[in-house]
């Protein structure tokens, strides 16, 4: 490489050297064409991944579902204020939209596993309480209902039951 003055990064140089297979005494050098094609594919995939804007929540290493219910992969980045449980209960008490929310969730959860993503649930709540929740972050509240195996998945029945019980307590 140096003889031909080819500018290569250390990583590319290492991958290229791996494509040349030699016997023990280095007399017969064989070029592994499959390895060269693999290097090309790996390089293309790495470039693709570098362009994708993946997002992780600061306190959660799991990747999140950016598309959610609305299917929007690119969302406007807003500074949202976390909502407290008391504030959410107050909003639900003023205008109960649980039947509409559950209807949409049932459409998403066709395999009836009891889970939707935190982004889907956030979107559904914001569609039903648009004015009240537009600038609010529901994910800190939803976190306590997340699956232990996959923190992106939320047990929506637990959310429903919890909020229903809290609303009923507040009315009594």
Handedness of CA 61, 161, 78, 104 (dihedral sign): positive
Question: Is residue 1 one of the residues assigned to a domain?
Answer: no
pLDDT over 60 (residue 69): no
* Rounded Cα distance, 106 and 73, in Å: 22
**Contact by Cβ (8 Å): 121, 156:** yes
Question: Is residue 2 one of the residues assigned to a domain?
Answer: no
Task: Identify whether residues 100 and 65 lie together within a single domain.
Answer: yes
Task: Identify whether residues 102 and 39 lie together within a single domain.
Answer: no
Task: Identify whether residues 123 and 64 lie together within a single domain.
Answer: yes
Closest by alpha carbon to 20, among 11, 29, 9?
29
Closest by alpha carbon to 74, among 92, 51, 97, 93?
51
Task: Identify whether residues 75 and 62 lie together within a single domain.
Answer: yes
* Rounded Cα distance, 91 and 74, in Å: 28
Task: Identify whether residues 62 and 93 lie together within a single domain.
Answer: yes
Q: Of 20-34, 52-66, 101-115, which range is least confident?
A: 52-66
Task: Identify whether residues 79 and 96 lie together within a single domain.
Answer: yes
If one compares 1 and 10, the residue with the highest pLDDT of the two is 10
**Contact by Cβ (8 Å): 163, 88:** yes
pTM above 0.75, yes or no: no
pLDDT over 50 (residue 9): yes
Please state the length of the chain.
172
Task: Identify whether residues 16 and 75 lie together within a single domain.
Answer: no
* Rounded Cα distance, 159 and 155, in Å: 7
Domain extent for 104: 56-171
């Amino acid at each position: 490489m140096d003889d031909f003055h080819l500018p290569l990064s250390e990583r590319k140089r290492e991958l290229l050297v791996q494509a040349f297979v030699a016997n023990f005494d280095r007399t017969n050098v064989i070029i592994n064409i499959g390895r060269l094609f693999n290097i090309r594919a790996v390089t293309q995939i790495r470039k693709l991944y570098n362009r994708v804007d993946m997002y992780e929540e600061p306190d959660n290493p799991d990747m999140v579902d950016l598309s959610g219910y609305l299917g929007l992969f690119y969302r406007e980045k807003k500074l949202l204020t976390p909502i407290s449980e008391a504030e959410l209960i107050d909003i639900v008490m003023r205008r109960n939209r649980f039947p509409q929310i559950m209807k949409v969730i049932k459409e998403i959860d066709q395999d009836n596993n009891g889970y939707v993503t935190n982004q889907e649930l956030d979107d559904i709540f914001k569609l039903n309480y648009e004015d009240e929740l537009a600038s609010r972050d529901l994910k800190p509240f939803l976190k306590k209902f997340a699956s232990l195996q996959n923190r992106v998945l939320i047990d929506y029945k637990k959310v429903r039951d919890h909020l229903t019980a809290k609303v009923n307590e507040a009315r009594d």
